[in-house]
Amino acid sequence: MSGEGWRGQLILLGGLALAVLLLFHHDAADMAHIWWASSTYGHCLFILPLIGWLVWQRAGQIAQLTPATWTPGLAWLGAGASLWLLGDAASLGVLRHGGLIVMLQGVVMASLGPQVSRALLFPLFYAFFLVPVGSELEPVLQLLTADMAMALLRLVGIPAHIEGIFITTPTGYFEVAEACSGAKFVVAMTAYGVLVCHVCFHSWARRAAFLAFALAACIAANGARAFGTIYIAHKRGIETAVGVDHVVWGWLFFAVVMTLVMLAAWPFFDRKPGEQTLDLGALRRMRVRRGPPASIMAGMALAVMTAAPAWSHVSALAGRGELATMAPPAIPGWQRTDAPMAYVWAPHFAGADRSVQARYADRQGHIVDLAIIAYDRQSEGRELIGFGQGAADPASEWAWSSPAWSPADARGEIITAPGPVRRHVVSFYRVGGSGMTGSSAQIKLATMKAKLLMRDQRAIAILISAEDREGAPADAAIRAFLDSLGNPQSLADAIAPSR
**Each residue's pLDDT tens digit, 89-130:** 888 889 999 999 999 999 999 999 999 999 999 999 999 999
pLDDT of 6 strictly over 70: yes
Same structural domain for residues 341 and 473? Answer: yes
Q: Would you say residue 370 lies in a domain? A: yes
Q: Would you say residue 150 lies in a domain? A: yes
pLDDT of 243 strictly over 70: no
Please, what is the angle between helix 138-155 and helix 204-236, to 10°? 60
Q: Would you say residue 423 lies in a domain? A: yes
Same structural domain for residues 124 and 148? Answer: no
d(CA 140, CA 194): 23
Q: Would you say residue 436 lies in a domain? A: yes
d(CA 189, CA 167): 27
pLDDT of 312 strictly over 90: no
Per-residue pLDDT at 103:
98
The percent of residues in the chain predicted with pLDDT above 90, rounded, is 51
Q: Would you say residue 437 lies in a domain? A: yes
**Is 186:137 a contact under the CB 8 Å cutoff?**
yes
Same structural domain for residues 159 and 12? Answer: no
For residue 207, the enclosing domain spans 135-268
pLDDT of 401 strictly over 50: yes
Count of structural domains, the chain: 3
d(CA 425, CA 369): 9
d(CA 423, CA 467): 4
- DSSP class of residue 469 equals B
Same structural domain for residues 31 and 60? Answer: yes
3-state secondary structure of 335: strand
Q: Would you say residue 173 lies in a domain? A: yes
Q: Would you say residue 231 lies in a domain? A: yes
Q: In what order do the strands lie in the sheet with 367-375?
A: 335-336, 354-361, 367-375, 459-467, 421-431, 411-417, 399-403
Neighbouring C-alpha atoms within 13 Å toward the C-beta of 136 = 10
Per-residue pLDDT of 335-354, as tens digits, reads: 999 999 999 999 999 989 99
Which carries the bigger pLDDT value, residue 162 or residue 329?
A: 329
Residue 434 CB neighbour total at 10 angstroms? 18
Contacts of 18 (CB under 8 A, 6+ apart): none
Same structural domain for residues 343 and 490? Answer: yes
Same structural domain for residues 307 and 247? Answer: no
Same structural domain for residues 421 and 382? Answer: yes
- DSSP class of residue 319 equals H
Q: Would you say residue 274 lies in a domain? A: no
Same structural domain for residues 348 and 445? Answer: yes
Per-residue pLDDT at 12:
95
pLDDT class of 263 with cuts at 50, 70, 90: very high
3-state secondary structure 161-193: EEECCEEECCCCEEECCHHHCCHHHHHHHHHHH
pLDDT of 246 strictly over 70: no
pLDDT class of 469 with cuts at 50, 70, 90: confident
What is the rounded average pLDDT of the residues 43-51?
A: 94
